[in-house]
Amino acid sequence: MFYVIGLLIFLLLWYYFMPIYLEYRRHFVMTKNMAGPPTIPILGNALHFNCKNEEILGRVDQLCKKYGPSPFRFWLGPHLFIIISDPKHVEKVMTSSIFYRKFSKVYKFPAIVLGNALITGNGPHLKAERKAIIPMLNLNFLAKSLGPLDTHVNICIERLEKLVNKGTFNFIHECHPCYADYVKEVILGSDERSQKTGISPFDDAMIKGYEHMFARMFKFWQHFDFLYNLTPLKTQQDTLKHHIHTKGREMIKEAYERFNNPVPGRFHAIIDDMVEFLEENPGFFKHEDDFLCHILTLYAASEDTLTIVTSFLVMCLGMNPECQQKVLTEIIEVFGKTPRDTTTEDLQKLPYLTMCIKETLRLFTIAPLIARECSEDFQLDEYIIPQGCAVGVVMYTMHRDPQYWEKPNDFYPEHFLPDAVSNRPTYCYMPFSFGARSCIGKLLANTAIKVFMVKLLQLFEIEADGDVSTLKIKMDISIRPVHGCLVRLKKREWT
């Protein structure tokens, strides 16, 4: 009996680990002459990330500067990553259908909470689902969403009035509830108002979930479910998922109720568009939770992006009063000195503010790196990228490469003057990615940030200490400041 049990265990281990070993062996042979950090058995280079989460971004950047810009290899346990940060290589990867898939061996961890949706999903069904969702975020939707946006920003402005001349505070804490309310209304169709009632369990679970999902992606020893499930982290993950999915299902149920009993004058949210689409195309989603996962992903990507980019921009303008003054002058020319409702035509007349937003996204790229799966062997100049490995594109390093940026570590909006843009490779700047998997919400992000900044600068002067080059930042699903976006506000006095 003992021998039978031993044989069964051996066969199970053989069945589980042999494919991994064979793939590892092939990848090792094909990349043994490629540059990269020294490895150790089994773990590869995984111990490189045996550090605090806030240190991971810096370590990735150090690797790119030491071994790049040529492709170099990095082993996260048995999983091979080919890291690239040369725009010529990035263009070849991002424009090839061979790299359409996200690297599921690490993206499967955020998918536990967000599901196989727009960011984390793979498979042929995803293309059809993206094609169906993208038209819902069109210019007509953006124009209609300006009303709710003005409402929520005005509430935030009232909250900020109470902080004038009150010293330094973390702008993220004021900005996040505003955008959470806005995105919940226009994406999820929710009446929940965090600016008035405080952060909800849903909001809190989303915030904590970002770091939780990210940590598991980079900590190889957390990849094994049979070990991870024995730790308190599993309980935390289940709790976060429960709060997020429960609220998401409630909002889907409410959307179907609105479909059957329309409410006159109510804003028609993206979730309502999706319900109408599904009623016209029954069986469109392959799995029961696909609808839920797509709307949760749309919410997470929108709310977090808006909060972080706006907060960084506010701090950068506080650190650079001459840039703040240029933005203000432009705003006065279009809007005057008194806040009013915004139109899409107004927002097209703010080129310098647009440059400031782009510069903020350069310095603080929302997704500082992405990992795409190589679906077949791919020739990249003199290198061969083997099938089944990941290609990691490190936008953070490209965005601060002195070869392409005059002042790589400073806030310098002039990087985006037309002549400067034309003299740079297109693929050295990709804050919203490129190609078939690019972000579908970039127009929404630019619109909302401009509306917020116009109203803010008409009423307040922003002050912030220090400079961008010494700012400590960290990475989870997005880039964030280690110590918050610390600013002070003064009432703007018009003469």
Contact call for residues 447 and 342 (beta carbons, < 8 A): no
Q: How confident is the model at residue 312 (pLDDT cuts 50, 70, 90)?
A: very high
For the beta sheet containing 460-463, the strands, ordered from the edge strand earlier in sequence to the opposite edge, are 169-170, 486-491, 460-463
For the whole model, what pTM was predicted? 0.92
Provide DSSP, 325-373. Answer: HHHHHHHHHHH-SS-----HHHHTT-HHHHHHHHHHHHHT-SSSEEEEE
Say which residue, 263 or 428, is predicted with more confidence. 428
pLDDT the model gives residue 8 = 56
pLDDT the model gives residue 288 = 72
Give me the half-sphere count of Cα atoms (radius 13 Å) on the Cβ side of residue 69: 17
Separation of first and last alpha carbons in the chain: 93
pLDDT the model gives residue 161 = 96
Please state whether beta strands 79-84 and 390-394 pair in parallel, antiparallel, or not at all (unpaired). Answer: parallel
For the ranges 114-118, 257-261, 471-475, the lowest mean pLDDT is seen at: 114-118
The answer to whether residue 50 is domain-embedded is yes
Q: Is residue 283 pLDDT above 80, yes or no? A: yes
Q: The dihedral of CA 154, 156, 158, 160: what is its sign? A: negative
The listed range with the strongest mean pLDDT (140-144, 254-258, 282-286, 368-372) is: 254-258
**Annotation: binding site for heme:** 439
Q: How confident is the model at residue 13 (pLDDT cuts 50, 70, 90)?
A: very low
Question: ∠ CA(47), CA(53), CA(57), 5° rounding?
Answer: 85
Tally the domains of the chain. Answer: 1
| Dist CA 432 CA 134 (whole Å) | 15
Mean pLDDT confidence for 410-421: 96
Question: ∠ CA(248), CA(252), CA(256), 5° rounding?
Answer: 170
The answer to whether residue 472 is domain-embedded is yes
The answer to whether residue 387 is domain-embedded is yes
The answer to whether residue 15 is domain-embedded is no
Q: How confident is the model at residue 110 (pLDDT cuts 50, 70, 90)?
A: confident
Omega within 30 of 0 (cis) for the link into 69: yes
pLDDT, tens only, 343-399: 888 999 999 999 999 999 999 998 888 999 999 999 999 999 999 999 999 999 999
Q: How confident is the model at residue 272 (pLDDT cuts 50, 70, 90)?
A: very high
pLDDT, tens only, 24-79: 888 988 998 899 999 998 889 999 988 888 888 999 999 999 998 889 999 998 89
What's the chain's average pLDDT? Answer: 89
pLDDT, tens only, 431-485: 988 877 778 788 889 999 999 999 999 999 999 999 998 999 988 778 899 999 9
Q: What is the dihedral of CA 331, 337, 339, 341, to 10 degrees?
A: -60
3-state SS assignment for residue 386: coil
Mean pLDDT confidence for 200-213: 85
For the ranges 7-11, 156-160, 223-227, 454-458, the lowest mean pLDDT is seen at: 7-11
User: What stretch of H or E contains 245?
Assistant: helix 232-260
The answer to whether residue 187 is domain-embedded is yes
Say which residue, 77 or 182, is predicted with more confidence. 182
Provide DSSP, 420-489. Answer: HHHTS-GGG--TT--GGGS-TTHHHHHHHHHHHHHHHHHHEEEE--S-GGG--EEESSSEEETT--EEEE
3-state SS assignment for residue 412: coil
Q: Domain range spanning residue 150?
A: 34-491
Instruction: Quote the radius of gyration of the chain (alpha carbons, Å).
Output: 24
- For position 477, which CATH number holds? 1.10.630.10
Place of tokens 């949706």: 117
Mean pLDDT confidence for 112-131: 80
The answer to whether residue 7 is domain-embedded is no
Q: Is residue 495 pLDDT above 80, yes or no? A: no
The answer to whether residue 25 is domain-embedded is no
Contact call for residues 148 and 185 (beta carbons, < 8 A): yes
Q: Six-digit token pair at 471?
A: 């700012």
Contact call for residues 79 and 401 (beta carbons, < 8 A): no
**Annotation: binding site:** 439
Q: Residue 228: is it exposed, middle or buried by C-beta count within 10 angstroms (0-12/13-18/19+)?
A: middle
Q: Six-digit token pair at 281?
A: 């195309």
pLDDT the model gives residue 280 = 92
Mean pLDDT confidence for 74-103: 92
pLDDT the model gives residue 320 = 97
The answer to whether residue 13 is domain-embedded is no
